[in-house]
Structure 1
Amino acid sequence: MIAELTQALEAARVVNIIGPRQAGKTTLVRDIYKKGRFITLDNDATLTALENDPIGQLEALTQATDVPLIIDEAQRSKRLAMAIKVLVDARRRMGQFILTGSSNIFTHADVMDSLAGRVQTLPLRPLSAAEIYRAPPVTVLDWARHAENLGALPSPPPFTRSEVMNLVTRGGYPEIRPLGERARQKRYRAYIDSIVDRDVADILRVRKTDALRRLIDQLAVRTSQELNIQALCSNVGIQRPTAEQYCDVLERLSLTERLGAWASGEARRDVRHPKLHVLDTGICAALRNLGSDSFVADAHPAALGGLLESWVFSELRKNLPYQADTWRLWHWRGDRGRKVDILAESGRSLIAFEVKASATITPGDLKNLRWFMSEGPGRSWNTVGIILSLGDQPLSFGDRLFALPLSVFWAKGWKQG
């Protein structure tokens, strides 16, 4: 990430690092980057001074210095974006500001248009499995696009079911994941309370925070399912516009993501039936009071399936920037119960992923992917099918159809670039 930050500062006047609270943004810019002048808008006195005279304060802080001004928790200021616009229009030097925050302050249309080409946004998400295991980024999509056999696949490390359960239930927040289960779940629930009480308030005035908290609990239960707003409203006791507004805010805060439904024609892609993923499964497990013992070997796979699918989606999402090609992620559903959990698209290539919470692959597990690739909408595309499972060996079923262990997400032999 330091390399990306350095390159961005050489190419843009403002670098905007966004991601959920406690994902490591402040550590990155203050303790690792070790350059620039640092202020935080979590300090109420600093925030008040900046709101009263934003241009004057920024001019004083940046005068006679070539290092960037780092502004932490930038989303707390309502006037910061326009003040930065004035200053960077007057000064054409690259790398003037580094902003960090849980949401993007440059979302107002006028500011976005006037700062086009001047701001580079870098997302910072919780730790990936590769980062936890100190492995390189996972370029599985690049491998799959050209996959003819398993020869070019790095050797997936051996793992146990309990190791995967540990990864899924601990989540990726650096300060929280090392804690014991009880302390960790308590911290994650307190974290959500702080998001509702503080970060959401920076974006939207919420009259009934208890309703928002209930909605988040319901989304945790529904992770990896198609988002049914009407059922959500019924269970939470709110109106549809309110539910949609809350979902938008949670997505802006990088807590959830809606995954659109794919169709072979771009005009037919359906924004009305997205899947909803809670992006950190540690948070999701804590809100549902699920620990690693909730997924013992003889438990029904459905108890784990949705959580594991969201974990895989989040891992793919975190590794998208490291692929040689640009990919977009979708899900697909057809008639007769046919579906593809996650679909990655680049040009005329599709990678269709199914996630299985078991170690054994049966002929029935291959049915949807085979149909999608041979008779369904994937037949006219360059399509590869992959089942990700708790199995311990990569398998090829011919016709560009593979089963891979989940440990490919922390294998150490992936090629970069």
Structure 2
Amino acid sequence: MKQYRKRIYDTVLRHRLEAKGAVLVEGPKWCGKTTTCLQLAQSVLYMAQPDIREQNIMLTDMQPSLLLQGATPRLIDEWQIAPKLWDAVRFEVDQRDEFNQFLLTGSSVPPSFTDITHTGTGRIARLRMRPMSLYESGDSTGAVSFASLFEGESMPLSRVDSNIEHIAFLLCRGGWPKAIDQTECIALQQSRDYLDAIVESDISRVDDVQRDSHLARRLLRSYARMESSQAQSAQIAADVRGSAESPSNKTVQSYISALEKIFVLEDMPAWNPNLRSKSAIRTSDTRHFVDPSIAAAALGIGPAGLIKDLETFGLLFESMCVRDFRVYADALDGDVFHFRDRTGLECDAVLHLRDGRYGLIEVKLGGNRLIEEGAANLIKLADKIDTTTMSKPSFLMVATGTGEYSFTRRDGVMVAPIRTLRP
């Protein structure tokens, strides 16, 4: 058996469970939800186990409390197969009046909420889990800690062996646990198979609506072309229509909604700081896949193809960085946003903690010119922020793909290869 590789979510999940009767762990299939939960669980119920699946569903209708019996915390895997379990868990948590009772995992939202009468507020916490960051997969040295930067510590000068070919491979491999430590050929095949499963099965099974696999594949390809942009749904629909027969905007939006329900798409919301000037802030979400390897697979492009198309490479690299930033933000009790105003001034990622501290990050694949451009944007944005009404940024950083060293420039902007970062 493959040895368990520790996850950042191990600690996050333990802390959440210590403060609630139950925790729902959601996220895309194959990102490691069940395996991570098993590190804490003392008993487990696999709802999707073929030989007892129908029996489990029947018991959910007749006497769901029987399914909840077992050593705690008890893991209920793929709970959404029988949505009535939600109310049963909520009631049992009330009756026991103790924390640390149940773990629920789900790789999609339930197809219907008619069997759920209570939101679970105060009883069931939610935790979104994502594929592995580069630090979790062992592909980052972890020399640069975001937690330390938020504490005001200086960034250490550190070195990492990195080249554009390896970054392209890491992007196309993705953060799927089963792809880690495999040969290159096997590792790269995983995201392609994942894409096939999405379009052939998962997008229809999520809500029992039969969808066209060819249209789903074209939609994902169009979405991938819009990666890391603020493209509107109508633009995506127009791009899909330009490739073959013409689905309506409503149809395209229903496909996007289904992909969100199975956690394949995870757009990034806009940040709204207090600025000195009355500059209109764009509020559109930035388009992102939960893992950039899905976008690469949808485009039918591999590491060699990315290197030949640096524009696409740059957009997908930004998405890979956002995936990692989101994981690191979860460890620090924070969120990740983007910023863009009507003048075009932007910031690719704002790592914002719940206590109000925040860091501004520009993502650049590499090259001195792009780093200079990113640093100038960060300084300009920092100067616009009204520090009489909110704190000044804890740090300004240009995160890069290539480049051997993490270092701090004379203007105070930090430059850090993505393969040196950790929470």
Q: TM-score, normalized by length of structure 1?
A: 0.82
The amino acid across from 2:288 in the alignment is H
- Cα distance in 2, alignment partners of residues 258 and 134 from structure 1: 25
Query: Which digits, 9 at most, give the CA deviation of each residue in 1:240-292, with x for residues without a partner?
Result: 344334333323322221112223249x9978511111121222222222222
Question: Which residue pairs with 1:275 in the alignment?
Answer: 286
1:87-102 alignment, distance < 5 Å:
87-102=92-107
CA contact (8 A) 2:20 2:122 kept: yes
For residues 69 and 148 of structure 1, the distance between their equivalents in structure 2, rounded to whole angstroms, comes to 41
2:25 to 17, 22, 39: 17
Find 2:336's aligned residue among 324, 329, 334.
329
Q: Structure 1 residue 78 and structure 2 residue 90: aligned?
A: no
Residues 253, 265 of structure 1: alpha-carbon distance in 2 compared, 3 angstrom cutoff: farther
Cross-structure match for 1:243: 252
Helix, strand or coil for the counterpart of 1:319?
helix
Using the alignment, how far apart are the partners of 1:90 and 1:136 within structure 2? 46
Counterpart among 296, 300, 303 of residue 292 in structure 1: 303
Identify if the C-alpha distance between structure 1 residues 395 and 173 changes in structure 2 by more than 3 Å, giving closer, same or farther: same
* 1:47 aligned partner: 53
Aligned to 1:274, the other structure's residue is in SS state coil
Corresponding residue for 1:133? 138
Q: How far 1:5 sits from its partner (Å)?
A: 4.3
Does the 8 Å contact 2:396/2:413 carry over to 1?
A: yes
Q: For residues 253 and 204 of structure 2, what CA distance do their matches in structure 1 show? A: 16
Q: Where does the alignment leave 5 or more consecutive residues of structure 2 unmatched?
A: 1-8, 241-245
Q: Which residue of the other structure, out of 352, 358, 364, is the alignment partner of 2:360?
A: 352
Q: Partners in 2 of 1:143 and 1:16 — Cα distance?
A: 30
Q: Does 1:118 align with 2:123?
A: yes
Distance in 2, Cα, partners of 1:174 & 1:81: 28
Percent sequence identity is 22
1:148 touches 1:400 (CA, 8 Å); kept in 2? Answer: no
Aligned pair partner of 1:221 in 217, 220, 225: 225
SS in 1 for 2:414: strand
- Deviation sequence 1:334-376 (CA, Å, 0-9, x none): 24432211122345544221111124246444332222122x3
Q: TM-score, normalized by length of structure 2? A: 0.81
Deviations 1:318-338 (A, max 9, x none): 111222xx4332211224432
What SS class does the counterpart of residue 273 from structure 1 fall into? coil
Kindly provide the CA deviation profile for residues 385-409 of structure 1, in whole angstroms up to 9, marking residues without a partner as x: 2111222223333443222222222
1:342 matched to which residue of 2? 349
Rounded to whole Å, the distance in 2 between the matches of 1:356 and 1:135 is 17
SS at match of 2:350: strand
Counterparts of 1:386 and 1:9, CA distance in 2: 33
Find the residue that maps to 1:247 and give its secondary structure: helix
- 1:171 is aligned to 174
Secondary structure (helix, strand or coil) at the match of 2:135 reads helix
Which one of 385, 404, 408 corresponds to residue 416 of structure 2?
404
| Residue in structure 2 matched with residue 391 of structure 1 by the alignment | 403
SS in 1 for 2:269: strand
Aligned to 1:59: 65
Q: 1:258, 1:275 within 8 Å by CA — same for their partners in 2? A: yes
Provide the residue aligned with 2:392 in structure 1: 382
8 A Cα contact 2:407 2:414, kept in partner = yes
Change (3 A) 1:28 1:365: closer
* 8 Å CA contact 1:302, 1:357 repeated in 2: no
Find the aligned partners of 1:69 and 1:350 in 2 and give their Cα distance: 36
How has the CA–CA distance of structure 1 residues 377 and 130 changed in structure 2, closer, same or farther, with 3 Å as cutoff?
same
Q: Which runs of 5+ in 1 are unaligned?
A: none
Q: Can you list the C-alpha shifts for 1:194-243, whole angstroms capped at 9, x where unaligned? A: 23455444542434333333222221222111132112112333333443
Distance (Å, rounded) in 2 between the aligned partners of 1:96 and 1:251: 29
CA distance in 1, matches of 2:143, 2:55: 44
CA offset at residue 181 of structure 1? 5.1
2:272 matches 1:263: yes
2:243: which partner in 1?
none
Instruction: Give the count of matched residue pairs.
Output: 400
Change (3 A) 1:107 1:328: farther
Aligned partners of 2:301, 2:252: CA distance in 1, in Å? 25
Q: Check the 8 A contact 1:74/1:80 in 2, yes or no.
A: yes
Q: Which amino acid aligns with 1:370?
A: I
SS of the aligned residue for 2:52 comes to helix
Equivalent position amino acid for 1:281 in 2: P
Aligned to 1:370: 379
**For the residues of structure 1 that align with 2:191 and 2:230, how far apart are their CA atoms?**
24
Distance change (3 Å), C-alpha of 1:356 and 1:3: closer
In structure 1, how many angstroms separate the alpha carbons of the residues matched to 2:153 and 2:33? 40
**Cα separation, 2, equivalents of 1:301 and 1:147:** 35
